[in-house]
Amino acid sequence: MMQSLVTMSYIVASSLFILSLIGLNHHKTASRGNYYGIAGMALAIFATILSNIVASYSMLIISLLIGGLIGARAALKVEMTQMPELIAIMHSLVGMTAILVGYANLFEYSPILNVVEKKIHSFEAFIGIFIGAITFAGSVIAFGKLRGRISGKPILLPGRHGINIVLLISIIYLGYLFIIASQSGGGLWPLSLAVIIAIIFGIHMVMAIGGADMPIVVSMLNSYSGWAAAATGFMLSNDLLIITGALVGSSGAILSYIMCKAMNRNFINVILGGFGNTGGIGSTKIKGDVISIQVNELVKMLRDANNIMIIPGYGMAVAQAQHAVYELSRQLIKRNKKVGFAIHPVAGRMPGHMNVLLAEAKVAYDIVYEMDEVNDDFSKIDITIVIGANDIVNPAALYDPNSPIAGMPVLQCWKGNHTIVLKRSMATGYAGVSNPMFVHENTSMLFGDANDSLKSVINEL
Report pLDDT for 419. Answer: 95
Question: Do 200 and 251 lie in a common domain?
Answer: yes
What contacts 56, CB < 8 A, 6 or more positions away? Answer: none
Closest residue by Cα to residue 86 from 146, 42, 135, 152: 146
Exposed, middle or buried by CB within 10 Å (0-12, 13-18, 19+), for 459? exposed
Is residue 148 domain-resident? yes
Q: Is 414 helix (H, G, I), strand (E, B) or coil?
A: helix
Kindly report the CATH number assigned to the domain that includes residue 407.
Answer: 3.40.50.1220
Question: Do 2 and 53 lie in a common domain?
Answer: yes
The count of domains in the chain is 3
Report pLDDT for 275. Answer: 42
pLDDT confidence band for 284 (50 / 70 / 90): low
Last residue of a domain, one of 77, 92, 113: 77
Question: Do 120 and 169 lie in a common domain?
Answer: yes
Question: Do 328 and 383 lie in a common domain?
Answer: yes
Question: Do 121 and 260 lie in a common domain?
Answer: yes
For the stretch 255-265, pLDDT in tens is 888 778 777 77
Question: Do 184 and 244 lie in a common domain?
Answer: yes
Is residue 36 domain-resident? yes
Question: Do 70 and 145 lie in a common domain?
Answer: no
Question: Do 405 and 256 lie in a common domain?
Answer: no
The model's pTM: 0.79
Report pLDDT for 211. Answer: 66
Report pLDDT for 247. Answer: 92
Report pLDDT for 285. Answer: 63
Buried b (16+ CB within 10 A) or exposed e, 402-433: ebbbbebbbbbbbbbebbbbbbeeeeebbbbb
Give strand pairing partners of 420: 385, 444
Is residue 256 domain-resident? yes
Is residue 280 domain-resident? no
Closest residue by Cα to residue 386 from 314, 297, 320: 314
Question: Do 452 and 441 lie in a common domain?
Answer: yes
- Write a three-state SS string for 325-355: HHHHHHHHHHCCCEEEEEECCCCCCCCCHHH
Is residue 207 domain-resident? yes
Is residue 287 domain-resident? no
Last residue of a domain, one of 17, 45, 77: 77
Contact assessment for residue 126 and residue 162, using Cβ atoms and an 8 Å cutoff: no
For the stretch 323-353, pLDDT in tens is 999 999 999 999 999 999 999 987 876 777 7
Is residue 290 domain-resident? no
Question: Do 177 and 202 lie in a common domain?
Answer: yes
The larger pLDDT score, comparing residue 381 to residue 79, is at 381
For 259-328, give the DSSP string. HHHHTT--HHHHHTTS-S--S-S--PPP-S---B--HHHHHHHHHH-SEEEEEE-HHHHHHT-HHHHHHH
What residues act catalytically?
391
Q: Is 402 helix (H, G, I), strand (E, B) or coil?
A: coil
Closest residue by Cα to residue 204 from 169, 161, 171: 161
The larger pLDDT score, comparing residue 297 to residue 1, is at 297
Last residue of a domain, one of 35, 57, 77: 77
What contacts 279, CB < 8 A, 6 or more positions away? Answer: 154, 210, 212, 403, 404, 405, 406, 407
Cα separation, 342 vs 329, whole angstroms? 13
For the stretch 314-325, pLDDT in tens is 889 888 899 999
Question: Do 133 and 265 lie in a common domain?
Answer: yes
Residue 44: domain span: 1-77
Question: Do 38 and 97 lie in a common domain?
Answer: no
What contacts 264, CB < 8 A, 6 or more positions away? Answer: 407, 408, 409
Cα separation, 202 vs 271, whole angstroms? 11
The larger pLDDT score, comparing residue 339 to residue 71, is at 339
Closest residue by Cα to residue 363 from 339, 335, 347, 346: 339
Is residue 449 domain-resident? yes
